[in-house]
Structure 1
Amino acid sequence: MFYKPQNKSLFRVKALAISASLLVLVSSSALAQSGDEGTGFWLWQLLGRLHPLVVHFPISLLIVAGLLELLTLKDFKHPLRPGIRMLAVTGAVSAVVAAALGLLFASNEGVTGSLLDLHQWIGIISAGLGLALLFFLGKGKKRPKSIPVYRSLLFLSGIGVGVAGHFGASLTHGEDFLTEVLPWQEESEAPESLTIDVAVFASALSPEQEIQLVTNVRSVLAHNCYKCHSGAKIEGELRLDEKEFVFAGGESGPILVPGNPRESELIRRISLGKNHDDVMPSKGKLLSKEEIQLLRLWVEKGAPWPDGVAQQSVYRVAALAPRKPDLPPAKPGLENPIDRWVDRYFQENELAWSETVDDRTYLRRIYLDIIGLLPSPEELTAFESDPNPEKRDIWLQKLLDRKDDFAQHWLTFWNDLLRNDYTGTGYITKGRFAITDWLYTSIRDNKPYEQLVKELLNPSPKSKGFIEGIRWRGTVNASQRVEMQAAQNVGQVILGLNLKCASCHDSFISDWKLEQSYAFANIFADSTLEVSRCETPTGEMAKTKILWEELGEIDSLATKAEKLKQLAEQLVQPANGRMYRTVVNRIWKQLMGRGIVEPVDEMDNQPWSEDLLDWLAVDFVENGYDLKRLIFQIASSKIYQSQSIAVASPEMLMAADFKFQGLVRRRLTAEQFSDAVSQLSAPLFDSAEVKFRPYELIPEAKPSLPFARAAVVANNAFLTSLGRPNREIVSTSRDSQASLLQALELSNGERLNQSLTKGGKNWTESYPDAEQLTRELYARALLRAPNEKELAVAKQAFGERPEPSEVQDFLWAVFLLPEFQMIY
């Protein structure tokens, strides 16, 4: 006699639950059988590979069921109930089946890793919630008290399968699959692209070349291989994120035969065609020809990969402690310490000094570099006629003493560096704090750099915006929380190092580790941070340490305010040579066009003159951290006053074999160009665009110009086209090369056209005579008289009496001259 159920619907649900449970037991049994063998019975492998197909059912069905359930909160007997029931049953059973097949898949495909473990356990928990959901599904009609339990299980299981699905997508497409498209992800710096010309490695590798080669190899592996072969996910028992794992190989054995690319499985796999079964990477883009060539070269050279201990780091690590080498002896005309070091460098590299520039070139150069404005013809006349042999130093000091002009010009440099702006992300939602009042006063008063940094690190309400960073709207990734922003920004700006990679995982472009970044970020936190590796919480709580422990300890139990005070005191001490080399290098680049170390944010790189950099840094500390004195020291040197060097492309400045020869010829910045146009034509910006008025902060700082300086206006399309950054990230360099966007703006931009229209009218009213107008315009724009050809062209264009439209075109032509746009 067969049992006849009274509630057929409930019976079917329970039967499905029992069947699903049996499937889990079967898969667990198969998992146990295949665990020791690496791969199991072919049927288990086949069923496991159905996991990606089946897993989409519970994700969609349970989420839709949960959304529909929200519509029935007031009426459990809603007409939607049968549909919700069907979706919930199918989704719950699918979740259990997907979990079972996932276990089979993981066990038979040789996939392991922390990310897989997280995905697996969330999936199992979701399956368990699904089974509980099936149990309570049929109780709602008879037991109303069970309805809240059923609904909670429905919502939790829907959330669970959604989260599990996210981590599944991360396994398949990479850990940043979802987050990489978010707007703030633009702040994350991608690893450096290939910088190696493989042709230079025809002979034996020097230690420096070996470091460069291995650095690029690690970058290629990180770009292309870590999604499947790192600690987060390990396919085929192969990891490529650490040396010991690379040389150990995977389930098929070693992947490298050092010195023999032809016998190396790694090289074979990456060289296969895209449709080949064995090609690697099997997902996403294949490696480029250059990347394959690089890896082949690396193997051919014996696959060097120095051990990761500090003494044998694959990366150059600059000394932290200050060092003041003995100055070379002075020579006639080379009394300035900078020139004495440069002279030694020239001798060692068989380079010759270039000629000193004339008064006109020097005056224009220091005006633009010190106060950001063009000198007037009257000032040039006075300078040229000054008989004092020390006149260059005297005029340089006069410019440094023009406090407000100096501050408004250098405000641009510090705004870029401290990512301070007037508009943009965060200001609307009050998730960002401007530091302009504090910063302007600090520049104007020439606040000692040591004190300036202290006030940034242990801030007042007026200076807190730097370490507070940007509080993004909504949920952001762990590497962009404000504490980590503070760590990254302090590291980059004050210490010249990149912590952005190490904020997500151990860096592959330096030796900095994830734990070190979190320990540093913890100083800026109100409570202890949990370490997240590649956006996945690890359960490990961060320590609290300065990046260089020899600078001192931070009390991990102290309040945030006390930790910041300790950091400020310890980081600025003279023993931190790193900090003072960094600022000296930045000021040197601002005036000379190329840093002693490049890039300026990578201070572990080799300087072209280590002695000059170290000497300047210690001298800066010994003389009161005086930024204006440092600027004077550089701008009064013979090398600053020498002929500028033209560089064909910016890449030449970054080349490994770069040789310093003098000041690099560079283009006016967006602000310098804008101010020059406003000086000569008509103001580019109206009062509504001015976001900071110095004379409102400091009464004696009354405007000396009849126009708003570009440094104090909100960013706009014109300034952006000329290279002003949005300052949502730290900007320590601007591209001096002309761009297509700049060409379009200068050719067709409405803002410049309006200035030219007004300027044309103003010039014709003041100078109705064509020759007089031409001579005056050349004198004010270029500090010289027009030559005969230029004068003839102007007369031909103007006729007997210039018209405003003709002068407008003439102004435009002058503004586009390289002689106007460049600092020579």
Structure 2
Amino acid sequence: MTPKKHQQTGIKFKKPGLYLLFSIFYLGSALAFPALAEPLLATPAAEGFWLWKLLGRLHPLAVHFPVTLLCLAAVLEIATFRNFTSRLRPGIDLLVTIGAAGAIISALLGWLLAQQEDYAGDLLALHRWTGVATAVLGAIAAILLYYIEKQERWPLIKVYRGVLLFTAIGVTAAGHYGASLTHGDVYLTSVMPWTDDYEATPAPEKKFNLVALQEKGNLDAAKELELNVQVRAIFAHSCYKCHSADKIKGELRLDQKDLVFKGGKSGPIIVPGQPGKSELIRRITLPRSHKESMPGKGKALSTEDIALITYWVKKGAPWPDKGQKSAFRIAELKPRSPNLPPPTQNLKNPVDLWVNQYFLKNKTAWPQVVSDRTYLRRIYLDIIGMVPTPEEVQKFSEDSRPDKRALWVRQLLNRQDDYALHWLTFWNDALRNDYSGTGYITNGRYNISDWLYKSLQTNKPYNQFVKELLNPTEESKGFISGIQWRGVVNASQRVEMQAAQNVSQVLLGLNLKCASCHDSFVSDWKLADAYAFANVFADSALEINRCDVPTGKMADTRILWEELGAIDKNAPVKVKLQQLADNLAKPQNGRLYRTIVNRVWGQFMGRGIITPVDAMDNEPWNQDLLDWLASDFVAQGYNIKELIYLITTSKTYQLPSVGIKDVNWLNTPEYKFTGMLRRRMSAEQFADAVSSVIQPVYADSAVQYNPAGKDKPNPIKTPFVRASLVKNDGFLTALGRPNRETVITSRDTQANLLQALELTNGKKFNQVLQQGAENYMTRFPQSDALIREVYRKAFNRAPLPQELTVAQQMLGEKPNSEAVQDFLWAIVMLPEFQFIY
């Protein structure tokens, strides 16, 4: 459509001259024939003049600018298709002009980068030519736009728009090829479940820094094993697709020791102790565009991975001998009940008796226990997830009974609703249960909230709790049913395998995810073991898939530890689940009960007796304590509240909290227990603390979970809606609440940028502060009374003289709303509020 009257756009085009035409010609010819541009460089490319290198390395930075501008210009042209002279025209003109210039500059910088660095191959050629095409087309679009607007050649509008559209397509393709050069040719497809390159198996945990920093001289046997496991993890995730039993490219296999050192058709790939002479190191350090670069498929190895493999070769490429029973520690399955040490004059609690022996062995003196105020706040947050009220603190301080701490623990455990509401968070994470999210709309996932809440409220015995999860009723089937993902998924993510992975992780402290894809590199579990366990949950026999490739072999049906009992592979799935529940929950399965004891200990102490809590084959810092707690747990009728009572009434739990500077130290063999670790509140604890001190964060009862049903009165009586009951939102997510699409057994407690942003500019939090400020000002018009009340509720104490002075200066004699908001914000940001001491 030809405009009746051309409107002034506000963009002043200069007449396109020979310079622009020469730039286009030179750009295309220089990139196609680099020798033509060589004379313009003061220093030949081979000499690597630093300025050309610097400019070349600016290419990744510069290239994103024209990509954004040209794509946005194309979108706006489509949006204004019927009105070329719309009000958006000045902006579109500017986007096209600057985008075209940026594309030319980026292409020239890219040419410099290719000349100065070691890039080659077909992928580079594709990236180069799409980049040239983008720059040329962008320049043509800018020229056409000039002729249309300055010389009113309206018939060129369609041509211009077509060129601009192809420019946007070209710049997208160039960006894709550039990403493939950097990250590998399956950079995008590796995250698409419907492609052959999909990599659903989680990446292994990186521990290179841990190994390197701990080394002093030669590696001992334990560190050699750890180093080898980490290298094999990299091989499994990055190399097995081409170099394992299912595919042997270049006659090279990397899944067995003898085959690794034998090498491939080109000879040995490793010269132990000499990384510089090892073909493996040469291949993984080549540029990604090089045809011999490894891995040939998938993501490129990270700098850390390359450093780790190089370090391994330098240390002689240690690998456990094939003849030994196992390279990995295997925890005892059977229960064990060691004899308790005799009580002392000051120690009676069994936990303290075991810890006392540990302290004597490590020459650790018992510190003084914490004050009443600290202890009360600690048990309130740990048992029911809330801070005590000033009235409760006052009552506790006036309690003169010698065993008042134990009595108050029992009192909190008897608050059934509060207890259930707090521990609902722990079990929702572990059982990947939530109130909304993936699968609920499509009926591909089942909610177990009613069953879970009632199980916690009634303190259901743990063995029965486990049985109802494994052989579920309609209300508890959501855990083993998993998530029925829409579309094609990796074989290791079908619901039967999800059940096997989740049951082994949550109930048995075993990572079966690696073995769900291939033979594990971090344990002795095999692919056949994982599929045999998954078959327990299947209606029909499963075909074993190795790295998502069918093998033609059908899986057996059995429990991971056959000594626990057999499963009838020919029985209906309901019968198999009954057999599984009975066998796993029997008292002879010491692993099941060590796992839950270790998890509960970790919740209260900040670190499990074994860490990580999902790796129960790891070495505990006190085997006797763990074994005794597990056996006593069974003897006490599988009563989790009695376990909590035993831990929280121990002198061990009452010791001063311990701060740590490096969280990595917690998972090292050098860790020594000296007391509870200082912990940041969870997202739900923080939200509830803010609700009780300032203003309810979640005041709308309509968004909370109601165990009585949607249309019935909610039987849960709380002063405010507890955060454990509400659907996830931006506030809770920022504070660390996960989406629960996978099992979560520990949360990251470190502060992060997202949390900082939410607590400074978050809409929900700011509304809470505003409403809280108004309420406090109404009740306490004078700043002195307001300050004292806030300190009393937030910290269960009066402000110190210096704190009172600073707060009074902040608020003035008669505070306004903004000043009170700032004061409340400062209070909840203090470590004394946010941490469990």
Normalised to the residue count of structure 1, the TM-score between the two structures is 0.75
CA contact (8 A) 2:241 2:547 kept: no
Moved more, 229-238 or 797-806: 797-806
5+ residue gaps, structure 2:
1-179
Alpha-carbon deviation of 1:226? 2.3
Q: Secondary structure at the match of 2:251?
A: coil
- Say whether 1:456 aligns with 2:456: no
Which of residues 582, 594, 602 is equivalent to 1:589? 602
Aligned to 2:26: none
Which of residues 246, 256, 260 is equivalent to 1:246? 260
Taking the TM superposition and a 5 Å limit, the aligned residue runs for 1:479-628 are 479-628=492-641
Taking the TM superposition and a 5 Å limit, the aligned residue runs for 1:93-104 are none
- Say whether 1:232 aligns with 2:246: yes
Taking the TM superposition and a 5 Å limit, the aligned residue runs for 1:271-670 are 280-281=294-295, 287-288=301-302, 290-307=304-321, 312-670=325-683
- Say whether 1:679 aligns with 2:692: yes
Aligned to 1:222: 236
Aligned to 1:207: 221
Q: Secondary structure at the match of 1:538?
A: strand
User: After superposition, what is the alpha-carbon deviation per residue over 1:312-363, rounded to whole angstroms, capped at 9, x for unaligned?
Assistant: 3222111111112222222222211111111111222222222210000000
Name the aligned partner's letter for residue 772 of structure 1: A
Q: Secondary structure at the match of 2:409?
A: helix
Aligned to 2:72: none
- Alpha-carbon distance in structure 2 between the residues aligned to 1:427 and 1:179: 26
Alpha-carbon deviation of 1:696? 5.8
- Say whether 1:715 aligns with 2:759: no
Alpha-carbon deviation of 1:611? 1.4
CA contact (8 A) 2:595 2:616 kept: yes
Moved more, 508-517 or 627-636: 508-517
Residues 756 and 176 of structure 1: is their aligned pair in 2 closer, same or farther, counting only changes over 3 Å? closer
Which of residues 763, 774, 781 is equivalent to 1:768? 781
Alpha-carbon deviation of 1:235? 1.8
Where has structure 1 moved over 6 Å in runs of 4 or more? 172-177, 183-187, 273-277, 697-701
Which of residues 726, 744, 762 is equivalent to 2:757? 744
CA contact (8 A) 1:338 1:634 kept: yes
- Say whether 1:735 aligns with 2:748: yes
User: After superposition, what is the alpha-carbon deviation per residue over 1:680-721, rounded to whole angstroms, capped at 9, x for unaligned?
Assistant: 222212436534124669999844433110000000000000
Alpha-carbon deviation of 1:661? 1.2
Aligned to 1:198: 212
- Alpha-carbon distance in structure 1 between the residues aligned to 2:513 and 2:784: 58
- Alpha-carbon distance in structure 2 between the residues aligned to 1:778 and 1:608: 39
Residues 580 and 701 of structure 1: is their aligned pair in 2 closer, same or farther, counting only changes over 3 Å? farther
Alpha-carbon deviation of 1:739? 1.1
Taking the TM superposition and a 5 Å limit, the aligned residue runs for 1:59-70 are none
Alpha-carbon deviation of 1:623? 1.1
- Alpha-carbon distance in structure 2 between the residues aligned to 1:702 and 1:276: 67
Alpha-carbon deviation of 1:264? 4.1
- Alpha-carbon distance in structure 1 between the residues aligned to 2:451 and 2:778: 42
CA contact (8 A) 1:695 1:703 kept: no
- Say whether 1:181 aligns with 2:192: yes
- Alpha-carbon distance in structure 2 between the residues aligned to 1:604 and 1:268: 36
CA contact (8 A) 2:186 2:297 kept: no
Aligned to 2:74: none
Name the aligned partner's letter for residue 576 of structure 1: N
CA contact (8 A) 1:594 1:664 kept: yes
Residues 428 and 293 of structure 1: is their aligned pair in 2 closer, same or farther, counting only changes over 3 Å? closer
- Alpha-carbon distance in structure 2 between the residues aligned to 1:650 and 1:187: 27
Name the aligned partner's letter for residue 181 of structure 1: M
Name the aligned partner's letter for residue 640 of structure 1: Y
Alpha-carbon deviation of 1:723? 0.4
CA contact (8 A) 1:174 1:227 kept: no
Taking the TM superposition and a 5 Å limit, the aligned residue runs for 1:148-167 are none
- Alpha-carbon distance in structure 2 between the residues aligned to 1:360 and 1:697: 40
Q: Secondary structure at the match of 1:236?
A: helix
Taking the TM superposition and a 5 Å limit, the aligned residue runs for 1:255-274 are 255-259=269-273, 261=275, 264-270=278-284
Name the aligned partner's letter for residue 679 of structure 2: R
Identical columns (%): 57
Alpha-carbon deviation of 1:213? 1.4
Residues 276 and 820 of structure 1: is their aligned pair in 2 closer, same or farther, counting only changes over 3 Å? same
Q: Secondary structure at the match of 1:531?
A: strand
Alpha-carbon deviation of 1:272? 5.7
Residues 757 and 198 of structure 1: is their aligned pair in 2 closer, same or farther, counting only changes over 3 Å? closer
Give the root-mean-square deviation of aligned CA atoms.
2.6
Residues 699 and 291 of structure 1: is their aligned pair in 2 closer, same or farther, counting only changes over 3 Å? closer
Q: Secondary structure at the match of 1:565?
A: helix
Alpha-carbon deviation of 1:649? 3.0
| Matched length | 653
User: After superposition, what is the alpha-carbon deviation per residue over 1:455-500, rounded to whole angstroms, capped at 9, x for unaligned?
Assistant: 0000000000000011111222211111111001001100011111
- Alpha-carbon distance in structure 1 between the residues aligned to 2:327 and 2:536: 29
Aligned to 1:17: none
- Alpha-carbon distance in structure 1 between the residues aligned to 2:647 and 2:465: 21
Name the aligned partner's letter for residue 759 of structure 2: L
Aligned to 1:81: none
Alpha-carbon deviation of 1:787? 0.9
- Alpha-carbon distance in structure 1 between the residues aligned to 2:452 and 2:795: 33
Alpha-carbon deviation of 1:542? 0.9
CA contact (8 A) 1:437 1:697 kept: no
- Alpha-carbon distance in structure 2 between the residues aligned to 1:707 and 1:187: 41
- Alpha-carbon distance in structure 2 between the residues aligned to 1:322 and 1:392: 31
CA contact (8 A) 2:384 2:412 kept: yes
Which of residues 815, 820, 835 is equivalent to 1:807? 820
Residues 282 and 317 of structure 1: is their aligned pair in 2 closer, same or farther, counting only changes over 3 Å? same
Residues 552 and 177 of structure 1: is their aligned pair in 2 closer, same or farther, counting only changes over 3 Å? farther
Name the aligned partner's letter for residue 762 of structure 2: G
Alpha-carbon deviation of 1:384? 1.0
Aligned to 1:138: none
Residues 713 and 282 of structure 1: is their aligned pair in 2 closer, same or farther, counting only changes over 3 Å? closer
Normalised to the residue count of structure 2, the TM-score between the two structures is 0.74
